[in-house]
Amino acid sequence: MQSSQYDSGQLNSLLESLQKDKFSGVLHLTIRIASRSHQRSCVLIWRSGEIVYGGLKVLSNKEFADMLGQKFQPGWINAAIEATSKRLNNPTSVREMAELLVRLKLFEWKTIESFIQAKVICLLEQFIPYSGQARWESGVEFDLCYGEDCHGLDWTQLKSDLVKRQQEWTNLSPLIPSMEIVPHLPEGTLAKITDLKVRQHLKRWVDGKRSLLDIAEQMDRDPLRVGQSYFNWAQLGWISFHSSNDRTISTATESAAAAIATSKPEEELPMILSVDDSPIVQTAIKRALSDRYNVILTDKAMDALNLLNQKPIKLLLLDLTMPDVDGLEICRTIRSISKFRDLPIIMLTARDGLIDKMKGHIAGTTKYLTKPFEPEQLLEIVNKYVLSGNT
């Protein structure tokens, strides 16, 4: 078994390398959530460079079938597992077990694949923003694949879905900067809630200790969908959110909801624009800054220029290397516009050579920050140039 430590934003590169190397086996990931003083672990199972499963542990074929059954066919699955187990040529084969269940018409391959893909996406968005440890081992017996052609999950589609979900999380960020945020019930709130189902849910799940992610996992629900419900309830003043050190993120009173609805510039958080083609890096930036800043994300130079002209951007985070345009050229273009000559521009790049830094300085960058970066480091630098007004 091989192992490696990785920094925030580097997990995507590791996943890409396993894909290119046609890796088959199990990738074990462990991250530590510093803000909540605990760690999370998961496994991603690969077959010839494609992810075929993701979860908390490697399942046996019967455990895998039971998981599907409890989700889609709870009344039939126990009898089906007993019947199919007797017909297996390979008593440990996950693929053969799933294939027999498909032939029994309990599931379709499309249903199974969609369900596992959703699980993998949820895991990736939990783990990608953090630093952690990766361990990978080949030769693990888990022969799952999908459809008649026995394929794995489409990595391009996984990335696309992650980008779409990140945008949805971004929409929640005024009240919910992270799925690790802990919801609280303000005193006397339950008696004011007229919706019986909501009142019962909040009474059961919101204890001031569970994060949104904890609640979603215990309910076996998508964290994003849970977050969207909690966002709506927060706007109604039914819940508040606290950070890990119990600092109130939002009291979710009527005035806070009104501030979000009216979006008056003087009442908004300082606005940061991040230009980067990597959804993984953008996710890390959003998580690092969204407690204190309104972070706008784009991967296109023209969109960035339009946003700079339309919105009161206080600071620009700019990737040096993008597939369609050079970050230095964007920087030079922005600096040529008189009203942006004093705008703080932080260049984010994996290049840390002296020549690259000199080129950045000549192009007009304010600060040069090497990837991968620690969230605290990025926040400190942004604070320096936005809050103190340094340029």
pLDDT tens for 129-145 read: 888 899 989 877 899 99
Enumerate the β-bridge partners of residue 25: 46
Q: β-strand 240-242 against 2-6: which pairing, if any?
A: unpaired
d(CA 335, CA 362): 11
Give the closest residue to 305 by CA, choosing from 267, 337, 262: 337
Give the model confidence (pLDDT) of 227-245 as tens digits. Answer: 999 999 998 889 998 654 4
> Binning pLDDT at 50, 70 and 90, where does residue 12 land?
confident
d(CA 315, CA 345): 6
CA angle 368, 373, 375 (to 5 degrees): 115
Domain 269-386, architecture per CATH:
3-Layer(aba) Sandwich (3.40)
pTM recorded for the entire structure? 0.63
d(CA 305, CA 312): 12
> Binning pLDDT at 50, 70 and 90, where does residue 174 land?
confident
Residues 6+ positions from 186 with CB-CB distance below 8 Å: 237, 239, 240, 251, 252
Q: Per-domain residue ranges for the chain?
A: 2-168, 174-262, 269-386
Burial code of 201-215, b = ≥16 C-beta within 10 A, e = fewer? bbeebbeeeebbbbb
Per DSSP, helices labelled H in the chain are 11-20, 61-72, 77-85, 94-103, 109-127, 155-172, 196-205, 212-219, 223-235, 254-262, 279-289, 301-310, 327-335, 354-363, 375-386
Q: What is the per-residue pLDDT for 372?
A: 74
